[in-house]
Chain A
Amino acid sequence: MAISRRKFLTSIGAVIGAGTTGALTKAYGATKTHFNGYPDSFGVLHDITRCIGCRKCEQACNEVNKLNKPERPFDDLKVLDQKRRTGEAAYTVVNKFSGTPDVFAKKQCNHCQEPACASACFVKALKKDKTGAVVYDESLCVGCRYCMVACPFNIPAYTYNDPLSPKVTKCTLCLPRIMEGKLPGCVESCPKEALIFGKRKDLVKIAWKRITDNPGHYLEHVYGEHEMGGTSWLYLSRVPFEKVDMREDLGTTPAPELTSGALGTVPIVVGLWPVLLTGVYAISKRKEKIADEERKEAVQNATDLATTEMNKQLSQLKTKMTKEKDAAVKSEIKKALDAAAKKTAEEAQAAEKPPVTKDAADDDTGNEEE
């Protein structure tokens, strides 16, 4: 069974690629890939079909947390004509959704299993407690408000008008009261048992039991069971959750997982960039050095070549000049000999004639010696 080399290499590459991608996106441990939350954490089940919009929960919350009294009293139900969100002095609000009949739903911090706010907080001012409450520590908070950006439910509020000690505000799940064995203020005050407090895992069972025991009465969905990785506040409704301002497009991915990919690349950059960049530097320095050496060598070669060429030309010139000198000498000798011969001939002729004025031809032609 021969597998082509290309196929083999491709499959190796795919495995490495998948492994790396896997490492980058699921950068949270090979041993434990699933977290189940604190086993005995508490939660609240809000049965929207039972809510009548009386706002007693809002009032109780306000009193228990000793918040500023609002402008309009809690029994003013006209307030429900406007949609409200949680605010500085309103850890929880009830909103009315018109229809036949009107539907009312309470909104507050959902105390998520994997809180986006805690994941976002860069100073650990928000923490998921083992009781299930997501707790805010005012003494650490710097006021960056990233938690407000992160919260998919738009719950945290901020005291923008406090110049020196502004803080984030949200439902506390009445943690102090829970620790004393009491119920959260809102749960205790609800006249219609639209709010039930208990262990989250029990509440999930109760919720599904209600759905199956009352076919057609509820939507077959427990909101908060899986949304954003699960929340401690669970909701039952008859109408679609979008209709009561509860987003159904949040997905089930917990917030920490949304950023774990980017966060996972951070240490790899720190580990690899210095190596790669130093490598680039070393290579560029090496190339520079080689270029320098090549340049020097080229200059050297050129110089050598020039010197050789020059020497060659010089010796050629020397030879030529020696030849010329010899030739000149020869010609001078010949001239001298000719002149001497001529003189002798002239003298011989003159011996038979009367003396004439001598014209001493100076045959010093004066060779240019080197």
Chain B
Amino acid sequence: MTKEKTIAEKQLFTPFNVITGIILLVGVIITILRFTRGIGAVTNLDNNNPWGIWIGFDLLCGVALAAGGYVTSSACYVFGLKKYHSAVRPAILTAFLGYALVVFALHYDVGRPWRLPYPIFLSPGTSSLLFEVGLCVFLYLTVLFIEWTPAAFEWLGFKTIRAWVLRLTLVLTIFGVVLSTLHQSSLGALFQIAPSKLHPLWYSGYLHVYFFISSMFAGMSMVIFEGTLAHKWLHDKMDETHLAEADGVVLGFGKAASFVMMGYVGIKLIGIAVDNNWHYLTTGWGLWFLVELIGFVLFPAILYGMGSREKNTTFIRIAAFWTILGIILNRLNISVIAFNWHLPSADRYVPSFLEVGTTIFIVTVGVVVYKFIATRMPILYEHPEYKEHH
């Protein structure tokens, strides 16, 4: 009797479960506060700063970092690079959960979340880039869900429907790239409507291009980063193929990311030149801009490059984490740091603890669900009954 009890306790009260449990509990409390006392009770948002970290981090960073889904699946299925095959399912799972969490987070941020279907089904504001973002996210979430279902079907044993869904792979992948291009870029374009509020070094007519291109190396970096974490914490769930292909994925994405990041630095410089904004580089904001562009894009790009040339996966893994920090910095700069730069400091926005708490809660939900799925469904391994011939 006592032995069984001990075993049951051991399984339930792991450090992971305890910590995530506390976070989830706090999250539920914040949720109740949000919907009984309003957004104002939980955030530091005000009339000058209508968007805070729920948009700047949860939405913008969430979407950018979930880009691994379209990058990996297109590398494998459209460009025919088979060596990325084992990385596709984890990337799709991350993307699916990432976008689902973005929609989840949106329910906290918008005033009347039950009206979220309105722009698509009732009254489309087609002149708005936010309409385009909403439509694309909605469609893409559907695509990702469908792309994820084969893993679930294998777990559940639904052979026929699984086979049928797999026939859609190419169409879904291409559709996914189309939708990703659109919403990744449109999130950047959102800010193009407010040139008077965003600092000139970050404001550009090319914002939509910058967001799209940076989503590519954001996605690749996340695939590498998550692969590194999964290798550490979910190693026993990985099959031979996955383990054998892992380094190839890291090296391949490392090289690709390095190249794309260099291109990105180039088009950023073009953006400054086109608006003749060089003189801003010598200001305080200019320094901060260079910290972002040189410190968090150029430098990790070079490290990626070195790792790629010398086949050093450690360099690449460090560069991946560094790049992710850079993406987060860029999205936060555009949404809350360099946004409203004109306002006196008393009027500037700083997130509240509860806002940060909500964000941590949402990320934790994602981690917990990811772990649940990856430990039970064929994500990191191929189900023995459905081994693909490739």
Contacts and interface: CB of A to CB of B under 8 A. Distances in A.
Interface of A: 85-87, 116, 118-125, 140-146, 148-150, 152, 154, 156-167, 247, 249-251, 255-256, 258-259, 261-263, 265-266, 269-270, 273-274, 277-278, 280-281, 284-285, 287-288
B213 to A, nearest CB: 13
Nearest to A262: B189
Contact of A251 (B182, B191, B195): B195
Contact of A116 (B46, B174, B193): B193
Nearest to B205: A261
Contact of B122 (A87, A123, A251): A123
B128 A119 contact: yes
A-B pairs, top 7 by smallest CB distance, nearest first, are: A143-B111, A160-B40, A284-B80, A262-B189, A145-B50, A122-B131, A148-B50
Interface in B123-175: 123-125, 127-132, 134, 170, 174-175
Contacts of B119: 122-123, 142
A87 B124 contact: no
B38 A163 contact: yes
A261 to B, nearest CB: 6
Interface stretch (B71-79, B236-244, B285-293, B381-389): B71-79
Given A158-B47, A250-B196, A281-B79, 8 more contacts: A85-B48, A145-B51, A149-B51, A152-B197, A158-B50, A164-B112, A266-B132, A277-B174
A251 B197 CA distance: 13
A342 B113 CA distance: 123
Given A123-B119, A287-B80, A262 B196 contact: no
Nearest to B51: A149
Nearest to A144: B110
A150 B191 CA distance: 8
Interface string B174-200: 110110011001101111111111000
Given A154-B47, A266-B132, A146 B190 contact: yes
B123 A124 contact: yes
Contacts of B207: 262
Contact of B208 (A262, A274, A287): A262
B102 to A, nearest CB: 14
B39 interface: yes
Nearest to A278: B174
B177 A142 contact: no
B127 A256 contact: yes
B125 A124 contact: yes
Given A122-B130, A148-B50, A262-B186, A255 B36 contact: no
Nearest to B181: A269
Given A123-B122, A140-B123, A158-B111, A259 B192 contact: yes
A142 B193 contact: no
30 contacts: A87-B47, A120-B193, A122-B124, A122-B125, A124-B124, A125-B125, A143-B115, A144-B111, A154-B48, A158-B47, A160-B38, A160-B40, A160-B45, A161-B40, A161-B41, A256-B127, A258-B192, A259-B189, A261-B205, A262-B189, A262-B192, A262-B208, A266-B182, A266-B186, A274-B175, A277-B78, A277-B178, A280-B79, A281-B80, A284-B78
A165 B115 CA distance: 11
Nearest to A255: B193
A224 to B, nearest CB: 15
Nearest to B188: A262
Contacts of A247: 196
B80 A288 contact: yes
Contacts of B47: 85-87, 148, 154, 156-158
Contact of B38 (A166, A273, A277): A166
Contacts of A119: 127-128, 193
A152 B203 CA distance: 14
A274 B208 CA distance: 20
Given A123-B125, A164-B35, A165-B112, A263 B189 contact: yes
